[in-house]
Amino acid sequence: MFGIDDAVTAISTTLGKIIDKVFPDPQAAAQAKALLMSAEAQAEIQRTQTELSAIIAEANSQDPWTSRARPTFLYIVYVFILTALPMGVLFAVKPEVAGGIAAGVNAWLNAFPDQLYWLFGAGYLGYTGARSFDKWRGTTPAK
């Protein structure tokens, strides 16, 4: 896969070769390459600052929902999983009541359009996939 880092490296290599041809004096070529490397470093610093600005803005937000959105989603999933235990016991004691509760929850969840589930799934899997890929490449620190 050809990513932005590969493109920057290719451009940098090409510019280095052009500098070697344009500046036959080794000292002038070294100066030009140093300027190019400095510009690349500044671009990388700017890119990192841009990436971190969203995280910093989220952390500094006064809105409690901003920092609690992901944990809240997990709490909801935990509630669904943990309610399976008492529902199993209830089903053993009163199957018709447990069946009615399950049918009600099922009807409620089916009331949402399928496109909403697809959108959520694509967004969630895309986010986790991108984070995993970044961690695998070593470009994002694991948390």
**113-123: pLDDT as tens digits:** 888 888 888 88
**55-92: pLDDT as tens digits:** 777 677 777 666 666 677 778 888 888 888 888 899 89
Range of the domain at 49: 1-60
**15-26: pLDDT as tens digits:** 677 766 676 677
The answer as to whether 25 is a domain residue is yes
The answer as to whether 53 is a domain residue is yes
The answer as to whether 79 is a domain residue is no
> How many structural domains are present in the chain?
1
The answer as to whether 122 is a domain residue is no
The residue length of the chain stands at 143
The answer as to whether 46 is a domain residue is yes
C-alpha pair distances (Å), 1 with each of 47, 55, 58: 20, 27, 31
pLDDT at 1: 47
